[in-house]
Amino acid sequence: MAFIGRAVFRLLGWKCMGETPRHDKYVILAAPHTSNWDGFFLLFAAAMLKLDFSFFGKNTLFRGPLGWLLRSQGGIPLDRSRNQSFVSQAVSWFDSHERFGLGVAPEGTRYLTAGWKTGFYYIALQAKVPIVLGYIDYAKKEGGILPEVLTPTGDIDRDFQTLARLYGPCEARHPERKAPIVPLRRDASD
């Protein structure tokens, strides 16, 4: 995958930026997310940077052959029928593993939203892990990891101001769909 990623990036004039996180446990963001192409560029950048992370998906997606494929790429089925929130389930994964990275697209969709979902923030805060800033920037034709790492303080407004400062300059494939980098309060326990 890293070989393919290097070839695609070189062919399209893109650059992979950043360094592999030195943390054993972390939440890694994938932003901005306005197009299906974002995933390809970010996955290629992740392979080139030798990132090892997992991601959660609805447990219904993990049935049949698609389930095998998702699991082989780091997918973890999320059981929404349990009386345990997404945040609690994710924190328990961090607690039960010596090394664990969790990838999250904070916008939650490719379409314009009123802000970023906050589940990733509360997972990092409760698991006491840093937030690594994976990004894509179509204007600069680069993707990878920003040099800054955010350690959640518990002051979500101040921490989101930091995220807005760092991610603000990143141009999305569809700028009109890029969500404002403010917390959506309704999913604090999601």
- Residue-wise pLDDT for 5-20, tens only, equals 899 899 999 999 999 9
- Residue-wise pLDDT for 44-95, tens only, equals 898 899 998 898 877 887 888 888 877 887 888 877 666 568 898 899 999 9
Confidence at residue 84, expressed as pLDDT on a 0 to 100 scale: 63
**Tokens 């969500």 -> residue:** 179
Confidence at residue 7, expressed as pLDDT on a 0 to 100 scale: 92
Find the mean pLDDT for residues 94-107.
93
| Domain residue extents for the chain | 17-31+49-178
For the question of whether the overall pTM of this predicted structure is more than 0.85, the answer is yes
Asked whether the predicted pLDDT for residue 110 surpasses 80, the reply is yes
3-state secondary structure of 70: helix
